[in-house]
Structure 1
Amino acid sequence: MPKKLVLAVIDAMKPAMLERAIATGRAPTLQLLIERGQYTDECVAAFPSVTPVCAASIATGTGPSEHEIPAMNWWHRGEDRYVEYGTSFGASRAFGIRQSLTDTIYNMNLEHLSRDVKTVFEHLDDADIRTAGTTYLMYRGRHRHEPSVSTALSRLAHTAFGLPTWGPKELFYADMFASRKTSCRSQLGLPGVRDQHSGCVSEFMVQQDLFDFLLLSLPDNDTHSHKYGPFAQVDSIAAADKQIARVMDAAGGPDRFLEDHAVIVCSDHSQSKVEGEIDLFRAFDGFGLRAAQRPREDDEIAVCPNSRAAQVYVLDRDRRRQLIPRIERTLLALEGVDLTMRMGDHPDGEAIVRGERSRGVKELRFAPRGELSDARGERWSVEGDLDLLGLKVEDDQIRSATYPDALSRVWSALRCHTTGEVLASARPGYEFLDWGGAHHVGGGSHGSLHANDSNAVLIWTGTGPEKASKEQWALRDITPMALQHFGVSAG
């Protein structure tokens, strides 16, 4: 029987800040795991590098073209409405708090996440492996859970929603779902309390021997970094480290814990400093822009800011050929926009990337066929300005340090059927204002294709292959690693 496996996700942990936390003695547990296992500081995120997209890639081992979660804020063509997963309180309020919470808690898993892919919980549930999860955006599993009514806050949530869901065998989601009674409380997922709640219920599950696989979600680092900036992460990484130590101590300390448990620790993306905002709503004022809740007959486009990325959807399908070039020009004229991306008209499919550079607008076209091989072994044909994506070609190998795994990530984002017609990525230092007018200027954010946002942490101990087995690691490698640990087929 393989060891039990804990997958700990520390939201937005920046590799450089993990290394600083270790160097200053603030993250001894993570240091121990690195010393006893494998570590890479270049585990590439999905694009857009926002939490729902990346969480879906971690939980399914696929990119957005397969899992179909396109963004934090997106346009639902089938339901003719915006979906908002909680970019900010103001953005949720713009679309209705109840609808935003319903989309985030229920619809993301039960409606929006593709039924054509399995989550790690579903794979393991089907193999009769005991699964467990703490509050994490992607929790879909094979076990039905009724809402909790054990506390005043959970009863309030039950009154507002009161719907069952499907998750791992043991599910502890804020105070809304609790498969067993514990003394652990999350104040309905209040930032600053979430890591402690995850540590508390995980400690309980270790003591009671309730799982073979546990997803331990530690999201408070992201909130701290948004507010204080990515270079203030040492404190929040130290807090996450204490919760991992707490789980280990429940088994008698790190040595005894690691005798029976393998551990994977990852971040879902990184963060970068924000110094300026980009106002898409003002930029597209001359278009027929669909408002948050007031449809009009002359609506032409839907605009979806996603922190340091954005998407624009064409609603007037008859004017698609006219609108897309206008959308591209409008985006590229904005200070702070780095790149635009869209599919071209090539019959076999072709992606087009454009960016404003010192000598005007540059263009790159590529498709997944050709003679060039990327760091993950995928093959591409590429023509145009390679510098646009920092691409270097040597001996039929194509690489970019500035935009890691760029071709594969852009292609998957554009081929996602729920994505917009035109995608945008911000320059370092800029963020798109959300639907509530909120931004993180003076703090940190993420979402772009740039390495600043995209290089995440991956640590594994007691499981998995050698680091050198892959030139480029990615979030979509994590579920396959977990399945292989238990000898479960991904088919």
Structure 2
Amino acid sequence: MIILWILIILISIIIIGFIISRNKANEQRKIPKAFLTDSHSPPKIILLVLDSLMDEPLKKAIQENKAPALAFFLKNGQYSKNLVSSFPTMSVTIDSSLITGTYPNQHKIPGLVWFDDDKKQIITYGNGFFEILKLGFSNFAENIMHRYNNVDLNPKVKTIHEDLAQDKRKTASINALIYRGYDHHTLKVPKPIAKVSVLPEEYETTGPKMLSLGAFIRQDPNNKHIVKRLGLNDAFAVQELKYLLEKNILPEFTIMYLGENDHTVHKKGPTTTKGIEKLDKHLQEVLNMFPQWEDALNNYIWVIIGDSYQSSVKKDKKEALINLKEILSDYRVLKLGKAVSKDDDIVITANERMAYIYKINESLSLENIAQTLQTDSRIGWIAWKVNEMIHVISGAHEGSLIYNSGGPDKDVYNQTWSLKGNLSILDLTIKNKQIEYGDYPDGLARLYGAIHSQQGEFLIVDAKPGYEFIGESSPQHSGGAAHGSMHKADSLAPFIVTGTNKSIDGLRMVDLKKWILDILN
């Protein structure tokens, strides 16, 4: 009798398994519901920002047949591995440059963490759990949900959403933290957060016609991917894009941000393909919305970019981590979460492989602080501004480089500069009366942008490859990877485009906005 029951159970399991497999096969054979536009109609652009997508692991994943969706786009499009990022190479600054077409001297988002000289407080958009904890979760959430788009982002520069709205074109933003537009939206603070903080239940903001930002606002009312990271995850973003495709409401321009690969690279290092494999499965979901993958290419222009590279950080913490508090131990450093007092000398805001160091004691000299930092061989260079002139020094080079915008020297981007001193500090050469860049792509403009991004007196320090700055409670990635630096090891990103042969003037993050507008217009 027992044997008979065992046989019955086994047969039942087999039958149920067969039914499940058959149902899955039938689901896969169903024709997706993505709307197919007339290929001769005005173009629609889908811009996918894949955080920390890098050339070598991308090519490796494709060669190992672990990224069929990205392989499909690359095979059917144009490709470059040398898209020059913004500086600092931190997502919020890069995203601001991408969406405004400007460097930080114009859009005014200096980095992931910085010091507001007017309000005398450290601003963070999310630089690690312990730093957020000390600066205050409510303060952090306020910055992300309101201040970033509605206060800090310079109102004098226009975002791509604002430019297209003026031309009567609709746009969408999916999980991109920078999204400012002209349409009014209400962000709903999740109840668990509202209950344990002083945040209001709602925030008013302005954005594109269609705005998705995790659990705070969504287009698909049935999108259930809101628990992990409050919906700021790849599954949520992809579901939102699929919804817009299925409902045939995708506007002329859509930007979607997929950020999880960044977390994987930070932990496992720059050669890992695990994050790429995972995000590729999400892209397959999108392509499977079409009867054939080729239909996606026939009906939309796809622009797929990384935002920056990540470079390896040495495993030995003592060697890899540049502790700025220890190097500058002769100075009194403002503690996180504390108000500025007369006893404080400097403020340190580490953005992984670069950092801002602010002088808040008027009696101090930036040059003296710079000379102290110059003694650490792990630091690539130190820069500061004196009467509009930018001074750059390095422990590895003699003398200094002093420069400003405008002047007799022209670079490969037709930007003009006035240079004197040791060009090798920023690995510059002049050939045939033209400035050429080495280790620091578009370095003069990118450094100029960062040093004019904010008020106050401060230094910029940039780490050599293999090293990372830490402050009081900033995150560290020894044995993994990090970004932030102006070095090419952090600054170049892949660029894939299908569906257009429109040329682009320069291949920098700040050039993409104009290029996209030219295509749509």
TM over 0.5: yes
Is structure 2 residue 132 aligned with structure 1 residue 88? no
The two structures have a TM-score, normalised by structure 1, of 0.91
Which runs of 4 or more aligned residues in structure 1 lie more than 3 Å from their structure 2 counterparts after TM superposition? 151-161
Among 53, 60, 73, the residue aligned to 2:93:
53
Instruction: For residue 238 of structure 1, report the CA deviation from its aligned partner.
Output: 2.1
Give 5+ residue unaligned stretches, structure 2. 1-40, 315-319
- Measure, in 2, the Cα distance between the counterparts of 1:112 and 1:188: 27
Give the match for residue 131 of structure 1: 171
Counterpart amino acid of residue 421 in structure 2: G
1:161 deviates by: 3.8
Q: Which amino acid aligns with 1:477?
A: D
RMSD: 2.2
Q: 1:353 aligns with which of 365, 382, 392?
A: 392
Question: Kindly tell me: are residues 156 and 247 of structure 1, through their superposed partners in 2, closer, same or farther at Cα, counting changes over 3 Å?
Answer: farther
SS at match of 2:435: strand
Which of 410, 420, 431 does residue 447 from structure 2 map onto?
410
Task: For 1:259-270, list aligned pairs within 5 A.
Answer: 259-270=298-309
Q: State the alpha-carbon separation in 2 of the partners of residues 433 and 37 from structure 1.
A: 40
Deviations 1:280-338 (A, max 9, x none): 1222232232222223222222111110000011223x43xx42012201222234211
1:344 Cα offset (Å): 2.8
Matched, 1:78 2:102: no
Partner of 1:28: 68
Partner of 1:306: 351
1:418-456 deviation per Cα after TM superposition (whole angstroms, max 9, x unaligned): 475210100111111144253100111000111000011
Deviates more, 1:21-30 or 1:300-309: 21-30
Quote the residue 1:226 is aligned against: 266
1:399 matched to 2:399? The reply is: no
Distance 2:471 2:266 in 1: 14
Cα displacement (A) at 1:277: 0.3
User: Helix, strand or coil: the match of 2:242?
Assistant: helix
> Contact conserved, 1:344 with 1:352, CA < 8 A, in 2?
yes
- In structure 2, the residue matched to 1:278 is 322
Note closer, same or farther for the CA distance 1:464–1:365 as it changes in structure 2 (3 Å cut): farther
Residue type of the alignment partner of 1:256: D
Q: Distance in 2 between matches of 1:100 and 1:202?
A: 28
Q: Does residue 258 of the first structure (1) align with residue 303 of the second (2)?
A: no
Which of 361, 365, 372 in structure 2 is aligned with 1:323?
A: 365
In the aligned structure 1, how far is the partner of 2:74 from the partner of 2:179? 27
| Aligned-pair CA distance for 1:464 | 5.5
Does the alignment pair 1:291 with 2:328? Answer: no
Describe the SS at the equivalent of 1:287: coil
Please report how far the alpha carbon of residue 177 of structure 1 lies from its aligned counterpart in structure 2 after TM superposition.
1.2
Per-residue Cα deviation, 1:359-409 (whole angstroms, up to 9, x for no partner): x64411222223332121212222222222222221012112311111111
CA drift at 1:79: 1.4
Query: Which entry has the higher C-alpha Rg, 1 or 2?
Result: 2
Tell me: CA distance 1:123–1:19, structure 2 relative to 1, closer, same or farther (3 Å). Answer: same
How is 1:181-200 mapped onto 2 (pairs within 5 angstroms)?
Answer: 181-187=221-227, 189=229, 194-200=233-239
Taking every aligned residue pair, what percent have the same amino acid on both sides?
26
Residue matched to 1:453: 490
User: How many residue pairs get matched?
Assistant: 473
Structure-1 separation of matches of 2:398 and 2:459: 16
* C-alpha distance in structure 2 between counterparts of 1:60 and 1:249, whole Å: 32
Output the amino acid matched with 1:397. Q
Is 1:336 aligned to residue 373 of structure 2? no
Displacement of 1:26: 2.1
TM superposition shift of 1:186: 2.8
Match for 1:258: what amino acid? L
- The answer on whether the counterparts of 1:230 and 1:444 sit within 8 Å (CA) in structure 2 is yes
Whether 1:167 aligns to 2:207 is yes
Alignment gaps of 5+ in structure 1 = none
**Cα 1:181–1:34 shift into 2, 3 Å:** same
> What is the alpha-carbon distance in structure 2 between the residues aligned to residue 159 and residue 312 of structure 1?
30
Change (3 A) 1:190 1:332: farther
CA distance in 1 between counterparts of 2:491 and 2:183 reads 33
SS of 1:216 mapped into structure 2: strand
1:87-106 equivalent positions in 2, closer than 5 A:
87-106=127-146
**Is the partner of 2:476 in helix, strand or coil?**
coil
Distance 2:183 2:513 in 1: 19
> Are 1:475 and 2:512 an aligned pair?
no
CA distance in 2, matches of 1:104, 1:39: 33
8 A Cα contact 2:127 2:474, kept in partner: no
In 2: Cα distance, 1:260 partner to 1:167 partner = 26
The CA deviation at 1:153 is: 5.9
